[in-house]
């Protein structure tokens, strides 16, 4: 039995962002139309080292694809010069149960998370959006901006990070990569007041901007706050936005951006308008007016990893990427 091993470089070559965005739309549609088996992820907390390791399996029945991801989020890593997230994905042949591939999941996680925001932006943001604001100058923040620029003709972007040197490095790198001006915002308000799309990709436990700075018509992608205690988006913004989520069960179990205002009695679960897959499938409407504020809250669902990994493996076989090892 042979197993294909695919590196970060292989993933980059196999799955460009525009294809990843389309893969996410398909995955979310299957999730929201009962064509996916997705157990809630299992979390193994490691408080001694300020981290958590998650085990995320899923099966997409329409695509007949199956995989499991093991992903670790250790919050002290950036201070050690290490990535915040490490991940590995094992693709399982759904017809035989045979392990088919092992894929670097660290970059793939950032890619599919960015691609999910790209899909949400394509479905929910105004067509005339030309500016974006990114909160968090890490790997996730990079793929967020790349995805937004893939679906909208962004002309100017702003980056805010609590560590100014990280923001400066991000601005220099992304300006060159995307061929557009990426500017460092001195304050959160400087970024938000000028943005038609906002992406938050931080590990903050308190809101990263003020509600008063959010303009009518803004679209927000919130991909941090993946535990009940974390919060990136002000409750006031959540309350005046059309809220769309990736997966109802997971979001209402894990997303602090929603759970905190729920627990405070500021809203009910009925305030969540739709899953993104329901909009993809045409079962729920997207943006209702140019002035509407839309919020896509994502905690990450294993169907994203299955769809992305499946697309990567298909391209890797076609392009002869990676290495095959005998087990």
DSSP percent split of the chain into helix, strand, coil, nearest 5? 40, 25, 35
299-313 tens-digit pLDDT: 999 999 999 999 999
Which entry of 2, 9, 69, 297 is annotated as an active-site residue?
69
Q: Is the separation of the CB atoms in 139 and 169 below 8 Å? A: no
Beta-strand relationship, 182-184 and 2-6? unpaired
DSSP alpha helix (H) spans, the chain: 8-14, 17-32, 105-124, 139-151, 164-178, 188-192, 235-239, 248-254, 256-263, 276-280, 302-319
Residue 40's pLDDT is 80
Residue 44, SS3? Answer: strand
Catalytic residue check, 242? no
Q: Which CATH architecture has domain 116-300?
A: 3-Layer(aba) Sandwich (3.40)
Residue 225's pLDDT is 85
Q: Would you list the domain boundaries of the chain?
A: 2-109+303-326, 116-300
Q: What are phi and psi of 152, to 5 degrees?
A: -140, 145
66-109 tens-digit pLDDT: 999 999 989 899 889 888 889 999 999 999 999 999 999 999 99
Residues of the chain with pLDDT under 50: none
Same fold, 2-109+303-326 and 116-300: no
Rounded CA-CA distance 73/109 in Å is: 11
Beta-strand relationship, 65-74 and 51-60? antiparallel
Phi-psi region of 303 (alpha: psi -120 to 50; beta: other; left: phi over 0): alpha
Residue 83's pLDDT is 84
Q: Is domain 2-109+303-326 annotated with CATH 3.30.930.10?
A: no
């Amino acid at each position: 039995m042979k197993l294909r091993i695919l590196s970060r470089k292989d993933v980059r070559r196999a799955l460009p962002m525009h294809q990843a965005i389309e893969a996410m739309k398909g995955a979310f549609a299957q999730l929201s139309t009962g064509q996916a088996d997705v157990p809630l992820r299992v979390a193994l907390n490691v408080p001694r080292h300020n981290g958590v390791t998650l085990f995320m399996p899923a099966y997409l029945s329409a695509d007949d694809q199956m995989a499991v991801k093991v992903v670790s989020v250790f919050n002290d890593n950036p201070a050690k010069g290490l990535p915040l997230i490490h991940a590995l994905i094992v693709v399982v042949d759904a017809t035989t149960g045979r392990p088919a591939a092992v894929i670097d999941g660290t970059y793939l996680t950032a890619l599919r998370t960015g691609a999910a925001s790209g899909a949400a932006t394509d479905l929910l943001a105004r067509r005339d959006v030309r500016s974006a604001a990114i909160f968090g100058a890490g790997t996730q923040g990079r793929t967020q901006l790349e995805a937004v620029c893939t679906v909208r003709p962004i002309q100017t972007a702003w980056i805010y990070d609590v560590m100014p040197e990280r923001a400066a490095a991000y601005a220099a790198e992304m300006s060159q990569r995307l061929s557009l001006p990426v500017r460092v915002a001195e304050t959160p308000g400087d970024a938000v007041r000028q943005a038609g799309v906002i992406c938050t990709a931080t590990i903050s436990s308190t809101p990263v901007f003020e509600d008063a700075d959010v303009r009518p018509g803004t679209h927000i992608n919130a991909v941090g706050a993946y535990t009940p205690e974390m919060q990136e988006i002000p409750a006031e913004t959540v309350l005046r936005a059309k809220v769309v989520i990736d997966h109802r069960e997971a979001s209402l179990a894990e997303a602090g951006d929603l759970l905190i205002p729920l627990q405070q009695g500021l809203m009910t679960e009925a305030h969540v308008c739709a899953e993104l897959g329901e909009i993809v499938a045409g079962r729920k409407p997207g943006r209702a007016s140019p002035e509407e504020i839309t919020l896509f809250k994502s905690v990450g669902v294993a169907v994203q990893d299955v769809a992305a990994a499946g697309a990567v493996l298909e391209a890797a076989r076609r392009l002869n990427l990676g290495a095959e090892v005998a087990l």
